[in-house]
Amino acid sequence: MKLCSVKLNDGFLMPMLGLGTSAPSKVAKSDVEEAVMKAIDVGYRHFDSAYFYLNEEEIGRAIWKKIADGSVKREDIFYTSKLWGTFFRPELVLTSLETSLRKLQLSYVDLYLIHFPVPLKPGEELFPKDRNGELIFDTVDFCTTWEAMERCKDAGLAKSIGVSNFNRKQLERILNKPGLKYKPVCNQVECHPYLNQSKLLEFCKSQDIVLTAYAALGSNSGKEWVSKNNPVLLEDPVLNAIAARHRRTPAQVALRYQLQRGVVALAKSFNPKRIQENFQVLDFQLTPEDMDTLDGLNRNMRYFVDTVPADPLALGALMSCAQTLLALQGHPM
């Protein structure tokens, strides 16, 4: 099956189905490497990672192994990385990207995103904290960070640039920034039938910004940064009934739902069977009634903000702190 793509506002093409690579600490880095190689064999060409995920060396090795055996060429791969909050100062943005490129053994990334609209104190710690254990934020305006992102694009180190976890007001701050050279090509956010982001999607479409869905299959309580009380999306009876009618898995239906809305979907799995199953979403169509029913599942429920885990590397810790900071700024997530 040939993977469909969407044209970004700078003219580049982005495959609409990608493999997400963030993983709980219990997942071995070697498993990430194997998953990427399996995904390339299956047909995936879009891979999403970040400085924060601490797995770019393994992903780079996987990509180069598949290039070496003739499976793909570099230009076949669409690779996304992200700028972490401790690198928001303009003079550090290029440094961060170059660090990722060295780990990946690549000369450019296809897409570089601001990971969160929240600056953190620069330094070696991913989560810099004071003596009371509180996160130390920085005072950098992300509009200034965006100017450094534009320079990364001009230098050819990132073909396209965008943002992640931005709400409408934060997007508008960049779009309305005096002297804007490139507007974001995409906004990557949590998005699934329980959180369909319909208003944000409508706004992004009006601005020719692609919405990319992480946690497109929901998430489970086995991950340390996820709430233990939320229902499991893939066990939803309505989703399962639609899947049964189409003789598909609930995950395939959840992914197909996003593609038909014009949303780029990231499917995350390290299981070879599920990696293959999740790719098989291009040869069936949900009916308008199916789409309306899935829209009706929305309950504005997030998997990624309800807990602050003890593990300082867990993404939920920043999500919760970011939510608090943004609320103080009048920009709730």
Tell me the three-class secondary structure of 148-200, residue by residue.
Answer: HHHHHHHCCCEEEEEEECCCHHHHHHHHCCCCCCCCCCEEEEECECCECCHHH
Find out whether 115 is annotated in a ligand binding site: yes
Q: Is 53 a catalytic residue?
A: yes
Residue 15's φ and ψ, nearest 5 degrees, are: -60, 135
Q: Rounded to an integer, what distance in angstroms lies between the CA atom of residue 89 and that of residue 156? A: 20
Q: Three-state SS for 315?
A: helix
Helix (H) or strand (E) holding 141: none
Burial 179-216 (b: 16+ CB within 10 A, else e): eeebbbbbbbbbbbbbbbbeebbebbeeeebbbbbbbb
Catalytic position from the list 53, 112, 194, 303 = 53
Residues that constitute the known binding site = 115
What are the residue numbers of the active site? 53
Residues that constitute the known binding site for substrate = 115
